[in-house]
Structure 1
Amino acid sequence: MACFPLTKPMIEIITSLAPIFLLILSGWLVRKRRWVVDAFWQPAETLTFYILFPALLIHKIALTDMSAINLPPIMGATAGGMLIVGGVLVALRRRIERAGLDGPSFTSVFQGSVRPNSYVGIAAAVALFGNTGVTVVSAAIIVAAPLANFLGVLVLVRYANGTNGSGKNFRPRWRDTVLPIIKNPLILATLIGVALNWTGAGLPPVVGPFLDVLGQAALPIGLMAVGAGLDFAALTAAGGWVAATVAVKQIVLPLVTFLLFYAFGGSGPAAAMTVMFAALPCSAVSYVMSRKMGGDATLMAGIITATTLTATFAMSVVVMALS
């Protein structure tokens, strides 16, 4: 059996990523032990999503030297990998159904295979690659966030039960899909940071330190909120399809992304950052969409938990292999 030796680079990578996943597990422990009321987590997620992470992105991207970053391979490989893996899953839908996976459960496998957790991606980029890593990951987010939402809605509308949990039919309007993409604060913050960088405007003396302080709060609060959403009971109940989804998300998708990155003319350290983004755990947004649109929310929760637990190893292997 092949194995990956814990060489010094591997140990250094795991050591850099360990605080991220310790924060995630800390969030799970805090919620399990009820050291804070459950009502704390929803506003914490809102604060992180709308204020703290955007502040971090604007500050990091505005101060990054972007002259050496080739954006088209990053964005093309990210979008292409998601489309190819998603397309293959849909093409194999009949065979998967014969193997015992119904429509709502298929939507969970699909989302778990392509949707990244941007919070973990930004945190890993900061830990491993600094400002340049944040810029690369942000470029991936620009295409991945809207594409994941679009594909997720299409698959849920086509294969899920089509109810919102109350027994009533649910079909999203276009504005329910498009407006959240246009108003996504992570995408907007990335665009603002790029504009400040490319125009040479930079950050004013007061604004820069202000955004820096806000951004420092993003990682601990955001990652602990991710941990608070872990559901080990759902992981136990979800069955073998969880393992299959983990394999697709953290082996197949990174491999396809790697091949596309070089096919689009990419080179250099951005390869590790782009492929690492593909190996990220699945976002908790998938659970919200599954519950709202008639998917298998239990399986979705299990997939989110499993991919989060295995992400440290998957991301470490990717970075070690490509650095």
Structure 2
Amino acid sequence: MGLPLPALLDVTLPVFLVIGFGYAAARLGLFRDAAVDGLMLFAQGIAIPCLLFRAISTLDLGQAFQWPLLIAFYAGATAGFLAGLLGARLLFGRPWPDAVAIGFCALFSNSLLLGLPITERAYGAGALSANYAIIAVHSPYCYALGIAVMEVVRHSGRGLLVTVRAVATAMFRNPLVVGIAAGVAVNLSGAQLPEVATEALDLLVRAALPAALFGLGGVLVRYRPEGDLGTVVFVCALALGLHPAITWSLGQALDLGQGPLRSAVVTAAMAPGVNAYLFANMYGVAKRVAATSVLVATAASILTVPVWLSLLG
């Protein structure tokens, strides 16, 4: 039986309040755009890569990387992408490039800035190994799928090899992917970092999520809830409902186990991340839908996440 609603809100509200503090500070002009950009550059370019490196370098890879976990999560994510793509095209009459960007909104859940802190508050730091396994392949998988489908519908004519090279180059210029890859390399090599280095990294790690959440609030000020209401509601339903529902069902069918199932479903239930807007902006399509979906779904998840936590127990 799940926890009562007040207890569930005690778990989730502090995370959303930090986002709210960032939003209010930026909205009131106490935190300028340049300061928000600098904070997010520090969080996403330095502190969070350090967090991922430290977590994955000490992770039991054989235990964390379970095929049922990845199948349950990414089958749900892929189903959300396809539903968003086809729904945008067939229900809302959007051009194919717009439809791909809208599908990407339902694909790319905010596994890092929301999924990690909410899972930790709900189930403790010891529950995060499955989260890190999901995060390790999240950006590469989502961007590879989104870019590949976008290139197909745009008929770029660049050829498969050029497209694959472009995807790989974009991935390994991403500091988050670099942090993950470095963590895997240290883990597999069995190398031990000097204690002074690990202590310095841990100082950065402790700042990572609070800084990123506050900065996320500042970034959300730039996204205005405007137009395309039907499409935005559709995206929110897929991201906050369909994805976690499929992950929950598959996790149970695959006998995933309580801990990994919780991590997978909580991560799947997160709102689209800012990367959903960045993807749309990269191609110059469906930017208004993507920006509004990130903002509205993040606000709506204050109510939907406790429901999933209650179902998970």
Counterparts of residues 156-305 of structure 1 (less than 5 Å): 156-158=150-152, 173-194=163-184, 196=186, 201=191, 204-231=194-221, 234-305=224-295
1:142 corresponds in structure 2 to 136
Q: Distance in 2 between matches of 1:284 and 1:222?
A: 12
CA 1:160/1:227 → structure 2, altered by over 3 Å: closer, same or farther?
Answer: farther
For normalisation by structure 1, the TM-score amounts to 0.82
Q: Distance in 2 between matches of 1:62 and 1:298?
A: 39
Q: Distance in 2 between matches of 1:59 and 1:292?
A: 30
Out of 88, 106, 112, the position equivalent to 1:113 is 106
CA 1:209/1:232 → structure 2, altered by over 3 Å: closer, same or farther?
Answer: closer
Out of 303, 309, 321, the position equivalent to 2:299 is 309
Q: Distance in 2 between matches of 1:105 and 1:245?
A: 13
Q: Which amino acid aligns with 2:44?
A: F
State whether residues 65 and 130 of structure 2, in contact with CA within 8 Å, keep that contact through their aligned partners in structure 1. Answer: no
State whether residues 223 and 295 of structure 2, in contact with CA within 8 Å, keep that contact through their aligned partners in structure 1. Answer: no
Q: Distance in 2 between matches of 1:184 and 1:129?
A: 29
Counterparts of residues 67-78 of structure 1 (less than 5 Å): 69=64, 71-78=66-73
Q: Distance in 2 between matches of 1:69 and 1:63?
A: 11
- Tell me, yes or no, if structure 1 residue 44 matches structure 2 residue 48: no
CA 1:155/1:218 → structure 2, altered by over 3 Å: closer, same or farther?
Answer: same
CA 1:233/1:68 → structure 2, altered by over 3 Å: closer, same or farther?
Answer: closer
Q: Distance in 1 between matches of 2:106 and 2:122?
A: 24
The structural deviation recorded for 1:319 is: 2.2
Out of 116, 119, 122, the position equivalent to 1:125 is 119
Q: Distance in 1 between matches of 2:128 and 2:185?
A: 15
Q: Which amino acid aligns with 2:139?
A: A
1:82 corresponds in structure 2 to 77
Q: Distance in 2 between matches of 1:67 and 1:10?
A: 36
State whether residues 64 and 133 of structure 2, in contact with CA within 8 Å, keep that contact through their aligned partners in structure 1. Answer: no
Structure 1 unaligned segments of length 5 or more: list them: 163-171
State whether residues 57 and 186 of structure 1, in contact with CA within 8 Å, keep that contact through their aligned partners in structure 2. Answer: yes
1:15 corresponds in structure 2 to 10
State whether residues 65 and 133 of structure 2, in contact with CA within 8 Å, keep that contact through their aligned partners in structure 1. Answer: no
State whether residues 57 and 186 of structure 2, in contact with CA within 8 Å, keep that contact through their aligned partners in structure 1. Answer: yes
CA 1:84/1:33 → structure 2, altered by over 3 Å: closer, same or farther?
Answer: same
- Tell me, yes or no, if structure 1 residue 153 matches structure 2 residue 147: yes
State whether residues 116 and 128 of structure 2, in contact with CA within 8 Å, keep that contact through their aligned partners in structure 1. Answer: yes
State whether residues 3 and 310 of structure 2, in contact with CA within 8 Å, keep that contact through their aligned partners in structure 1. Answer: no
Q: How many residues align?
A: 307
Q: Provide Cα deviations, 1:254-309, integer angstroms capped at 9, x if missing partner.
A: 11112222344411221011011111111112222212312111111100101111
**Paired-residue identity, %:** 22
The answer to which of 117-126 and 17-26 deviates more is 117-126
CA 1:46/1:276 → structure 2, altered by over 3 Å: closer, same or farther?
Answer: same
Q: Distance in 2 between matches of 1:113 and 1:174?
A: 23
The structural deviation recorded for 1:191 is: 4.5
Q: Distance in 2 between matches of 1:198 and 1:233?
A: 41
Q: Distance in 1 between matches of 2:88 and 2:147?
A: 17
Out of 28, 37, 54, the position equivalent to 1:33 is 28
Higher helix share: 2
| Matched residue SS, 1:53 | helix
1:319 corresponds in structure 2 to 309
Q: Distance in 1 between matches of 2:255 and 2:98?
A: 37
For normalisation by structure 2, the TM-score amounts to 0.85
CA 1:13/1:184 → structure 2, altered by over 3 Å: closer, same or farther?
Answer: farther
The answer to which of 251-260 and 202-211 deviates more is 202-211
The structural deviation recorded for 1:214 is: 0.5
The structural deviation recorded for 1:83 is: 2.1
Q: Distance in 1 between matches of 2:68 and 2:193?
A: 28
| Matched residue SS, 1:266 | coil
| Aligned-pair Cα RMSD in Å | 3.0
The structural deviation recorded for 1:116 is: 1.6
CA 1:174/1:61 → structure 2, altered by over 3 Å: closer, same or farther?
Answer: closer
